[in-house]
Amino acid sequence: MIQGRDIKNKILQNYFSIDGNVATLTLIYDTFEELVNMNFGDGNIEKLNDKLISDIGEAVSLLPRKFKLNIKIVIRDFGDYTKEECENIIKKNIYLYAYRVLKGGNQKFLSGCSLILAGAGILVLSYFLRKYDLWFDLINISGTLFVWEGVNMAFLQRNLDNKAVKKLAKSIQNITIKSEKDERDDKIDLLEPIRDLREKLSLSDSCETDAHSEFDAANEQDMSDKQDAPEE
């Protein structure tokens, strides 16, 4: 067991800085612009593409369960963005990611329940056709498949998605962002939206409305701040 752990650590040390049960990963990007989806939205808050979230998710998936993850985001060239703007964009996009996960989970649950009800109806129908062997077998198999697919979608797939996001929330210890020239790491308060996501995933399906409201409120606050800012 100890030998297996040592082998894992040796492999991980090729990519992470390991200190006890804390792993530090540096993600380096040439420009912040490469993380932005320029074709999405009206420019109030830039939407990030899936690159950053995908890199963070891959890092979490590689670590043993008890490990904590520190992420250092290094941007070689911020371009037209300031560091503060980048932090705000990343934070708002994590809220958007939280909303997307919650909404997708609820859609899977509703679709799965619909399939289960349809399958149950087909199975009831097969009961009245049981004296016709061929039709009974065909309809019975169809109903069973509908029920199984519904259970898989409403519960199994949804739970797997929720567990993956919960693991993401539990594993990340802190996130910092800086340029290559910065000697100081400025910690971003990104754990708040991740913790919010973790709490919402543990609630009932009604949490979708809460996430939507929180997302809207965050954006409305950002817009009001921009409007209140004095013109130069």
pLDDT > 70: percent of the chain:
75
Confidence of residue 149 (pLDDT cuts 50, 70, 90): very high
Question: Could you tell me which residue, 11 or 42, shows the higher pLDDT?
Answer: 11
Q: Give phi and psi for 189, each to the nearest 5.
A: -80, 65
pLDDT at 231: 47
Stated as kind and residue range, the H or E segment containing 224 is helix 207-228
Query: Which range scores top for mean pLDDT: 115-124, 155-164, 220-229?
Result: 115-124
| pTM for the structure as a whole | 0.67
pLDDT at 74: 92
Q: Does 231 reside within a domain? A: no
pLDDT of 179 strictly over 60: yes
Q: Does 218 reside within a domain? A: no
- The single residue listed with the structure tokens 């996501």 is 197
Q: Does 225 reside within a domain? A: no
pLDDT at 189: 58
pLDDT at 75: 92
Beta-strand relationship, 68-77 and 22-31: parallel
pLDDT at 143: 92
The contacts of residue 61 (CB under 8 Å, 6+ apart) are none
Looking at residues 32-56, what average pLDDT do you find? Answer: 88
Structural domain boundaries, residue 37 = 2-211
Looking at residues 74-78, what average pLDDT do you find? Answer: 92
pLDDT of 63 strictly over 80: yes
Residue type, 6: D
Q: Does 44 reside within a domain? A: yes
Beta-strand relationship, 36-37 and 22-31: unpaired
Count of domains observed in the chain: 1
Looking at residues 53-77, what average pLDDT do you find? Answer: 90
Looking at residues 148-170, what average pLDDT do you find? Answer: 84
Q: Does 216 reside within a domain? A: no
Q: Does 37 reside within a domain? A: yes
Looking at residues 152-174, what average pLDDT do you find? Answer: 81
Looking at residues 41-48, what average pLDDT do you find? Answer: 82
C-alpha to C-alpha distance for 206 and 38, rounded to whole angstroms: 32
Q: Does 132 reside within a domain? A: yes
Q: Does 232 reside within a domain? A: no
Looking at residues 164-192, what average pLDDT do you find? Answer: 72
Contact 172, 191 (CB under 8 A): yes
pLDDT of 187 strictly over 90: no
